[in-house]
Amino acid sequence: MTTRKTEPSRSLTRTVLMVLAIFTLSFLATAANATCFDQGRGTGPAIPSALLAKMAGSSTTSHGSIVGLWHATYTTSDGQPFQESYDVWHRDGTEMETANVNPITGNVCVGVWKQVGTDVHLHHVGWGFDTAGNLIGGFTVDDVLVLGNHGNAYSGSFDFKQYDTAGNLLMEVTGTIAATRIGLD
């Protein structure tokens, strides 16, 4: 009787461990092909030149505020492209981002922010999925940013951490962010 209960339990444990090992190896092999921070950059569509021109010439009445719509580019600490996104910062201290990655792996993320002196601190959260749509676990991104160019650009650093569903750290990537405000002419 004990053998019957133990054997299925062992089989389930082995299956779960094997699945976790496969997910972990897929992260290493594909460099975290998950969440808003997908490593498959370069495969997404290019930003239309008309939109780039608007971004370069945009102006805003809130020069000292991060509130608004932005085009952000993330680069890893070893100089590799990490992600590109559109990011919306709200006056109430919330933020939402949509990335140029496969929506199956997760391309919408949310966060909370606050200004601390001249820096803007963002704590960003989301869910990561594999390419089959299975939940990998949650992730966090912590940014420290500084506004520049009369409030029409920001730059700073990011720290991305992907966790499994049990809360174990699977991967961490750090790097820099550069963003340009998108406005009306």
The residue whose two tokens read 């997908």 is: 38
Beta-bridge partners for 68: 89
Domains, the chain, ordered by start: 31-182 (2.40.128.120)
pLDDT tens string, the chain, 185 residues long: the values are: 444 445 555 544 454 444 444 433 333 333 344 445 544 444 445 555 444 444 444 333 344 799 999 999 999 999 999 999 999 999 999 999 999 988 888 888 999 999 998 899 999 999 999 999 999 999 999 999 999 988 999 999 999 999 999 999 999 999 999 999 999 86
31 contacts 25 by C-beta, under 8 angstroms: no
Answer whether 0.85 is exceeded by the pTM: no
